[in-house]
Structure 1
């Protein structure tokens, strides 16, 4: 009996921490989202309503914000896959010290605060920034990039790229280079080798990296808030506005929970789709 209880005793502190820091705040947020809101007095504890969820699901304003959030997150994830997977492949084939140097370059953005990076991109993409300066030299003229979806996408790709490179690189470390060389020795082309040998092996890394990037991009606040401005809103900035500007905490909690559930649905569907194709490719 004591033997069976040992795993529970060992995992108990982590489970308590998980419940205290994640489950309890989520439960309190869920309860808050159903509270009646009075503009004069604020949320009314003990009085519940579905009005906030009805507003989120029926108002076209929130439909547009959720659509913008998810298509930007999807595009950022796609760009990170197209850039990060080849970058990880090159990284895995390099020798030291160049591998260490490139790995440091990939991880360097993680050492800088997201807010600092957002301000850096605002300086680069601003009307008098370096990018517009180069465009003027090329005779193209100034282009409005700051406070646009383009600025948000560029900055999010820069922030999220390491979260794609590292999982793919980790998967490539488990790949035996002899298998790749054997395929090449049997007259398979480099493209066929990448498609039939390398890609199925690194698909778990691409899957995990995609889920991380999509989840972080969909819930990001600093980049959309600083580079999107007041007019280009995403869901996280709407939640912030409802909590701190409008003081409508129940509506902000409802929007946050809808984002969480929608995020989970998209990520689980994507996970099932990619895993199914991965198993089919291996089978």
Structure 2
């Protein structure tokens, strides 16, 4: 009787986890396996997919410097978006952490409310702001300042994606700020520590896990974003996501598009590995 009682929680847990495992296998693992298989298929003229096994897609990816430049550009743009989102989001998250009551609830809802709006709609909003006749050039023009081009270039993509992804960074930072202990800050101030020293020695170290999580989320979402780079870049900013779309929908080269998609997954894996390593270092 005792053995059946001790094993029943395990059986109950397995019963609850089994549907989740099946859903993940069908919706996540199997598509990746099929994507990897497709990356070794032969691309036929007119968008067909041959049954012959080939490594030509991977050879093109490795041997052609064009794809190397796209990978490098994608990583650099995503890193710039991540850094800019962190610099803009940290003061906001810090202020939200310091507020209390209804004001904090209202401001938190205000911060996450953009997530309820489609990225397409928000991107078109940036098109209206950054275009030659948009809000920013018009305001600068009234002061006699000619605004530099901010549409159909990397600048527009970085600005648009930074704003779109900032709520994710703020939410991750808020989770990190939950580790703060006001007693530690008060003790440091009572011992003569300046506000800069309190921030550098107490606040920043305790919020590093939240920073790492926010940077991971924003980087992964930035490097896989398609709609915003396509609209704000106007086909002149070459990133992995836009190249995957062009290969799949324009040139109809599905095997090469699958190969590029696997490359994105490799970048994801590297980013997650770096995140895990940072967390291990912070735990000591």
TM-score of the alignment, normalized to the shorter chain, above 0.5: yes
Q: Which residue pairs with 1:221 in the alignment? A: 226
Unaligned runs of 5+ in 1: none
Q: Which residue pairs with 2:143 in the alignment? A: 138
Q: Which shows bigger deviation, 257-266 or 111-120?
A: 257-266
Q: Which residue pairs with 2:43 in the alignment? A: 37
CA RMSD of aligned residues (A): 1.6
Q: Which residue pairs with 2:32 in the alignment? A: 26
Distance 1:110 1:178 in 2: 34
Distance 1:62 1:181 in 2: 53
Q: Which residue pairs with 2:57 in the alignment? A: 52
Distance 2:136 2:256 in 1: 39
Report Cα offsets for 1:208-256 as digits up to 9, x if no partner. Answer: 1110000000100111011011121211111111111111110000001
The 8 Å contact of residues 36 and 49 in structure 1, kept in 2 or not, is answered as: yes
Q: Cα offset for 1:67? A: 1.1
Distance 2:96 2:150 in 1: 32
1:260 aligns with 2:277: no
TM-score by length of 1: 0.93
The 8 Å contact of residues 127 and 143 in structure 1, kept in 2 or not, is answered as: no
Q: Cα offset for 1:179? A: 1.7
Report Cα offsets for 1:147-197 as digits up to 9, x if no partner. Answer: 110000001110111111111112222322122111111111111111111
Distance 1:229 1:210 in 2: 26
Unaligned runs of 5+ in 2: none
Structure 2 residue matching 1:48: 3-state secondary structure: coil
- 2:186 pairs with 164, 181, 185, which one? 181
Structure 2 residue matching 1:231: 3-state secondary structure: coil
Q: Which residue pairs with 1:15 in the alignment? A: 21
Q: Which residue pairs with 2:176 in the alignment? A: 171
Distance 1:177 1:106 in 2: 24
Q: Which residue pairs with 1:97 in the alignment? A: 102
Q: Cα offset for 1:101? A: 2.7
